[in-house]
Amino acid sequence: MIRFPTIALQAIAGASMSIAVLVAEPAEAVNIKQVTSPGGVNAWLVEDYTVPIVTMNFAFTGGAAQEPAEQSGLANLLSGMLDEGAGDLDSRAFQARLQETNVNLSFDAGRDAFYGDMRTLQVNLDEAFELTRLAITEPRFDDEAVERIKGQVISGLNRGQTDPSEIARKAFAKSLFGDHPYGRFVEGTPETVATLTSADLKRFHGRVLARENLLVAVVGAISEAELSAALDKVFGGLPEKADLRPIKEIMPDAGKTEHVALGVPQTVIRIGGAGLKRDDPDFIAAYIANHILGGGTFSSRLYNEIREKRGLAYSVGTGLIPYDHSGAYVAAAATRSDAAGEAIDIMKAEIERYAAEGPSEEELRKAKAYLTGNYALRFDASRKIARQLIGIRIDRLGIDYIDKRNDLIEAVTLEDVKRAAKRLFGGPISVVTVGSNSS
């Protein structure tokens, strides 16, 4: 039991990884080097020998949004299949090698990118790179493994069909983005996943995992020379070119109300509308604006109004959803069924008032103090540093972003935040609720 829920934006909105990056900080210890292999693979490296481990994060731009609608869930299935046998090693043998060498290797499908995460003890570095190479360049997709992992995904989706938060997440995305790829659930549906085959996996793998859309970040006990050689070994076997389809820009279609009936004592609420993309000039201002209304700390407006004053919810907050081809925001809460109407009214009124008036000078000052002070906390573990670096690369913010980031926050004026608040929260509002019909 913890006092404050950690509201992961991914959990609220299925937002892309780039969100994590928005909050970063001055890190004197983070000295990033660019490493380019003889074969032309580029990586950002932070060398640190304090702990004898190495973390490598990588991403291929082009995620679940690249799936055909009828194959929804394909990227997610691929993320579960890459460590299920590769090269001469079948699933059992591959998993045993990972465990014997204590290599942690996992993959994750976002909407706009496909992620890999490898962590190893320094003593097993060669083996770790070899297993990573096998997983991304020679996955087997054996029938037994495909059926087994599909079964697990479908089981999770079945459970999700009566999970109020998951229902709300799906309904909210559908409501804003309709038939656009962003309107689908990244995990797919039981029906679409059931149809997926190893041929589908091979095709998607061939289209998305390539060198031209690859981004790599490495942190830990490894030198530039070692990494340079490893990059070609691990990624050199990938095709040069990806085959990515253009994704349509989409303006979220907000202003609707939807209720999904489910027999639960607590109603899950998602409110939101159109937002800003990461490359919008007002994005940093919008980020601060969001922090004040419902961001991470225990002093946001919604936290005070919904939780602190009225005890209407345990978790309440807002988040930005900056996709590559759209932007949105979401406000989330959960409250007992008979109070859902009251909570929604308050949330909507707060959003509307904030869009009209913006924050006070004092609120802006506090938000800046928090956001700039908090940035360093994102760099106190190699794993966290790697996550920051890959996020910065995906968002194309530049290798000097960590040094600049707090200045960008400080440079935002009250007028900027008011403008951003209006742009962000001033549009039509969609409301999705999941719960009993009494509310």
Partner 1 sequence: MTAVPVRANEQKPAAKTAEKSAEKTAKIPRIAPNAVEFRLENGLDVVVIPDRRAPVVTHMIWYRVGAADEETGQSGIAHFLEHLMFKGTAKHPNGAFSERISSIGGEENAFTSADYTAYFQRVAKEHLPEMMELEADRMTNLELSDDVVMPERDVVLEERRQRIENDPGSLLSEALSATLYKNHPYGRPVIGWQHEIRALERQTALDFYQSYYTPNNAVLVVAGDVEPEQVRALAEKTYGQIKARPEAVRAARPAEPPMVGPQTLTVRDEKVREPTLQRAFHAPSSSTAEDGMAEALSVLADIVGGGSTSRFYDNLVRGKGLATYAGAYYQSSGVDNTRFVIYGIPKPGVSLGELEDEMERVIADLVEKGVSEEELARAKSSVVADAIFSQDSQQSLARIVGSALISGRSLEDIQMWPERIQSVTAEQVQAAAAAYLNPDRSVTGYLEPLQKKNEQDGKS
Per the structure block, which two tokens stand in for 329?
A: 């925001």
Which is closer to partner 1, CB of 27 or CB of 394? 27
C-beta atoms surrounding 183 within 10 Å? 18
| Type of residue found at 67 | E
Cα separation, 435 vs 427, whole angstroms? 26
Q: For the CB of residue 340, give the shortest distance to partner 1 in the complex, in Å.
A: 11
End-to-end alpha carbon distance in the chain: 27
| Closest residue by Cα to residue 184 from 74, 277, 273, 72 | 72
- What letter would DSSP give residue 178? T
Which is closer to partner 1, CB of 113 or CB of 330? 330
| Type of residue found at 165 | S
Q: Which helix (H) or strand (E) holds 136?
A: helix 125-137
Q: For the CB of residue 196, give the shortest distance to partner 1 in the complex, in Å.
A: 16
Per the structure block, which two tokens stand in for 323?
A: 């996709």
Cα separation, 268 vs 337, whole angstroms? 9
Cα separation, 13 vs 11, whole angstroms? 6
Q: For the CB of residue 153, give the shortest distance to partner 1 in the complex, in Å.
A: 10
C-beta atoms surrounding 69 within 10 Å? 11
Q: For the CB of residue 195, give the shortest distance to partner 1 in the complex, in Å.
A: 16
Which is closer to partner 1, CB of 28 or CB of 240? 28
Cβ atoms 181, 247 nearer than 8 A: yes
- What letter would DSSP give residue 182? G
CA quadruple 192, 195, 197, 199: dihedral, nearest 10 = -80
Q: For the CB of residue 85, give the shortest distance to partner 1 in the complex, in Å.
A: 11
| Type of residue found at 377 | L
- What letter would DSSP give residue 245? P
Which is closer to partner 1, CB of 164 or CB of 252? 164
Q: For the CB of residue 112, give the shortest distance to partner 1 in the complex, in Å.
A: 28
Beta-bridge partners for 126 = none
Q: For the CB of residue 423, give the shortest distance to partner 1 in the complex, in Å.
A: 25
Which is closer to partner 1, CB of 212 or CB of 410? 410
Q: For the CB of residue 419, give the shortest distance to partner 1 in the complex, in Å.
A: 24
Which is closer to partner 1, CB of 147 or CB of 352? 147
Which is closer to partner 1, CB of 336 or CB of 404? 336
| Closest residue by Cα to residue 23 from 406, 283, 356 | 406
Q: For the CB of residue 370, give the shortest distance to partner 1 in the complex, in Å.
A: 5
Which is closer to partner 1, CB of 85 or CB of 273? 85
Q: For the CB of residue 382, give the shortest distance to partner 1 in the complex, in Å.
A: 5
C-beta atoms surrounding 286 within 10 Å? 27
Which residue's entry shows tokens 């906390």?
377
Which is closer to partner 1, CB of 29 or CB of 356? 29
Which is closer to partner 1, CB of 108 or CB of 324? 108
DSSP three-state, residue 37 = coil
Cα separation, 204 vs 89, whole angstroms? 21
